Amino acid sequence: MAEIKYTEDNIRSLDWKEHIRIRPGMYIGKLGDGSSPDDGIYILVKEVIDNSIDEFVMGHGKVIEMKVTENSVSIRDFGRGIPLGKVIDCVSKINTGGKYDSKAFKKSVGLNGVGTKAVNALSGYFKVAAVRDGKIKVAEFSKGEVTNNAKIAKTDERNGTWIEFKPDTEIFRNYKFQHDFLINQIWNYCYLNAGLKINLNGKSYFSRNGLLDLLNNKTDSESLRYPVIHLKGDDIEVAMTHSSHYGEQYYSFVNGQYTTQGGTHQQAFRESIVKTIREFYGKNYDATDIRASIVAAISVRVEEPVFESQTKTKLGSRTMGPDQPTVRTFVNDFVTKHLDDYLHKNPPAAEALLKRIMQSERERKEIAGVKKLANQRAKKANLHNKKLRDCRIHFSKKKKEGHEKSMLFITEGDSASGSITKARDVLSQAVFSLRGKPLNCYGLTKKIVYENEEFNLLQHALDIENGLDDLRYNKVIIATDADVDGMHIRLLLLTFFLQFFPDLVRNNHLYILETPLFRVRNKKKTYYCYSHDEKLNAIKALTGKPEITRFKGLGEISPSEFGDFIGEDMRLEPVHLTDGISIEEILQYYMGKNSPDRQRFIIDNLRFDLDEIEEEVEIEAV
C-alpha cells in the first residue's frame, strides 16, 4: 500500500464563503428540496426575517414586506437600516454584526453573526440595500462574490433594509417553496410579536393576542374541552387547552424562534403542568393522563440563548441568562402560580379539565390487557416474519447521527415491497409491507390499534406507541399504486395516522411517494412521466414512434428502474395540516357514513379535458 504523504501542501485555509458552500449543513441544517418545513431554503428565509424582527422588537418598523416567487425571495423592513458604511461587511464578513452589542440586542433571535452571510454564500443572486436618512447603499453578490458595489446615493425611500436572494441551484437542486410552510413561518412571527404586520405577496398577516390567537387558529373550537387558557408574564407567555384528539401537541418558542424540537423550556413546561394539576386536584394522576390530548404553546425570552444546532430548533440553555434562575425554575414558578390561580378563578374550566383527565385514565386502563398481548405478538412477529425490512440508520437515544436521512416506505403486497427492497439504500431506507387493505378505523378507539395485527405491527415498526420521542424514521412514506385500489389504501392509511397519531402529520413526518405513470422511450432516450402532460411532451420530444408503457402498479417497475424514483431526485408530496383545519370534519366527510355527499362531490368535481384527449389520440395514432 502506497504511503500517503502529509505535508504543508495538505493544509488549506478556506475563506468564509468557501467554508459555508462546502459545509452548508453546519449553517442551515439539511438542504432538502422544500418538501419539509425545516429544509434549507426556509432557513435562508428565516435568517433574513430574523434581522427584521429584531428591529421590530427594538421598536423600529411595524411592517415587513415580503415577495416570494418560484425561485426568489424579497424581504423589506422599515427599521433603522444597516449603517451604510458597513453594508457589505454585514453580509460578507463572519463575526460582523450589531448583535454582538448586548445593549442593542439583549434577547436577540441569533447572536452568531452568520445568518445573512450564509444566505449570501448559498445564493446564486443576492442583493442588499440599506436606506438611512435619505441615502441608500446597494450591493449585489453571486455565491458570496461581490458583483456590484454601488456608491451611496440619494433616495426618497423610507429607512430600512431590503434583501433579495435566489438560492443557488447548484446546492439546492429541484427546490420549490411550499406556500403553506411560508405562511406557517410568517404566522409564528406574528403570534410572537403582537402588533407586527407582515405582508406576503400582497396578503397581510397580523396578530393582536399572541399565543391565544395561535391556539385558536391551530385548533378546531368544537373539539376543545374548555376555552384556551392564556397566561402572560415578563419574558414568558403560555397558552393551553385540551382537545378530543390523541397525542400531545406543543408549539414552543425562544426569543421568537420556533423550536420545533423543543428543549429545556418545553420540558420544564410539561413537568410544571403535571405538578400544578396534581397539587390543584390533590391527586397523583398519571402524567400521561394529564397531558393526553393537550394542545399548548410556550414562549420565553432568554439572554444569550444556547441552541443544540445552528438552525436553533432545540434550546439547550439551562439558565435564563447570566446570574439568572434556571429555565426549569423560571417556567415552573410561573406556571405553578398563574395556572393554579386561573383554575381557582374559573371552576367550569377546572371541571372540564378534570373530566378530560379522568377519561384518559379510563381509556388507558381499558386497553392495558389487550396492549400487553399485542406487544407480545409484535415481538414474536418481528422475529418470525419479514414485514419490516429495516435499514441500518434509525433512531437511537444514544446515537442520532444520520436519523434525519432515515425513511420508511409503507407498501402494498409482496411484489411492490420486493422491488423497493431491491432498489433501496439499505443504509437509510426501510420497507414495511402491508397485507391486504387496512381497516377503516374512523370512529374507533385506540384499542383497535392493538387488536388489529397490521396496525399493531406498523405502530411497533415506527415505535410511536408513546408519542414521537422514539420515532425510528424521520420520514414515513406511503408508497401505493396509482390506481383505484392504491388510492383507497392510501386513504385508509391517512385515516389511521390522522385518527390515532396526528402528531406524526403535524410534525411533518408523513409523505406520499410519487411514482411515474408512464415510460416513454426509443432506442436513444427514456422519459419517465408522472402525468398525461409529461407523457405528451415526451412523445413530442422523441423522433419516430416511441414505446409507451403504462405502469399499473409498483410491482411492474423493475428494481433497476425503481432506484431512479427513490434516490436523490425522489418526488415526495408532504402531508400537512392547514391551520384551523378540523381532523374530525375531514375524516367524517371522507370516511364517515355520508355516501350521497361524497357522490355529489365526485360528480361536481369530475372533469374531462376533451382537447387533451383528442390531442393524445392524434399523437398516438401517428
Instruction: Tell me what pLDDT residue 14 has.
Output: 62
Instruction: Tell me what pLDDT residue 57 has.
Output: 85
Instruction: Tell me what pLDDT residue 310 has.
Output: 61
Distance CA 445, CA 465 (A): 14
Looking at every residue in the chain, the average pLDDT score rounds to 85
CATH 3.30.565.10 in the chain is located at 16-203
Of 143-152, 207-216, 224-233, 577-586, minimum mean pLDDT range? 577-586
In total, the chain counts a number of residues equal to: 622
| pLDDT band at residue 100 under the 50/70/90 scheme | very low
**Cβ neighbours of residue 299 closer than 8 Å, sequence gap 6 or more:** 192, 210, 211, 236, 237, 238, 252, 253, 254, 256
User: pTM value?
Assistant: 0.76
Grid cell in block for residue 253: 418558542
Q: Of the ranges 182-196, 212-226, 380-394, 539-553, which is most confident?
A: 182-196
Q: Could you report the per-residue pLDDT of 339-373, keeping only the tens digit for each?
A: 999 999 999 999 999 999 999 999 888 888 788 88
Do residues 527 and 551 touch, judged by C-beta distance below 8 A?
Answer: no
Q: Which residues pair with 297 in a beta bridge?
A: 239, 251
Give the architecture (CATH level 2) of 211-366. 2-Layer Sandwich (3.30)
Residue 522, Cα to own-chain centre: how many angstroms?
41
| pLDDT band at residue 7 under the 50/70/90 scheme | low
Question: CA-based angle 207:129:311, to the nearest 5?
Answer: 55
Q: Could you report the per-residue pLDDT of 33-52, keeping only the tens digit for each?
A: 888 888 899 999 999 998 99
**Cβ neighbours of residue 524 closer than 8 Å, sequence gap 6 or more:** none
How many CB atoms lie under 10 A from the CB of residue 225? 18
Reply yes or no on whether the pLDDT at 491 is more than 60. yes
**Sequence-separated contacts (24+) of 397-400 with Cβ below 8 Å:** 397/470
**H or E stretch covering 52:** helix 40-57
Reply yes or no on whether the pLDDT at 382 is more than 70. no
**Cβ neighbours of residue 239 closer than 8 Å, sequence gap 6 or more:** 210, 211, 212, 214, 215, 228, 229, 230, 231, 296, 297
DSSP letter string, 125-173: EEEEEEEETTEEEEEEEETTEEEEEPPPEE--PPSEEEEEEEE-TTTST
| pLDDT band at residue 620 under the 50/70/90 scheme | very low
What is the topology classification, in CATH, of domain 16-203?
Heat Shock Protein 90 (3.30.565)
Question: pLDDT above 90 covers what percent of the chain?
Answer: 44
Question: Could you give phi then psi for residue 296, rounded to 5 degrees?
Answer: -145, 160
Report DSSP state, residue 315: B
| pLDDT band at residue 466 under the 50/70/90 scheme | confident
Instruction: Tell me what pLDDT residue 615 has.
Output: 45
Q: Could you report the per-residue pLDDT of 258-301, keeping only the tens digit for each?
A: 888 888 999 999 999 999 999 999 999 999 999 999 999 999 99
Reply yes or no on whether the pLDDT at 516 is more than 60. yes
As a whole number of Å, the end-to-end CA separation of the chain is 61
Of 129-133, 213-217, 510-514, 530-534, minimum mean pLDDT range? 530-534
Q: Is the torsion defined by CA of 403, 404, 406, 410 positive or negative?
A: positive
Could you give the C-alpha distances from 328 to 324, 414, 426, 526, 607, in angstroms and in order?
12, 50, 41, 59, 57
Q: Which residue has the cell 394542545?
A: 295
Instruction: Tell me what pLDDT residue 239 has.
Output: 96
CATH 3.30.230.10 in the chain is located at 211-366
- Residue predicted with more confidence, 284 or 111: 284
Do residues 544 and 6 touch, judged by C-beta distance below 8 A?
Answer: no
Reply yes or no on whether the pLDDT at 548 is more than 80. yes
| pLDDT band at residue 154 under the 50/70/90 scheme | very high
Reply yes or no on whether the pLDDT at 588 is more than 90. no
| pLDDT band at residue 227 under the 50/70/90 scheme | very high
CATH number assigned to the domain with residue range 368-515+554-591, chosen from the 4 options 3.40.50.670, 3.40.640.10, 1.10.10.10, 1.10.3720.10: 3.40.50.670
Burial readout 176-196 (b: 16 or more C-beta within 10 A, e: otherwise): ebbeebbbbbbbbbbbbbeeb
| 3-class SS of residue 402 | coil
Q: Could you report the per-residue pLDDT of 288-336, keeping only the tens digit for each?
A: 999 999 999 999 998 878 877 666 778 888 888 877 889 999 999 999 9
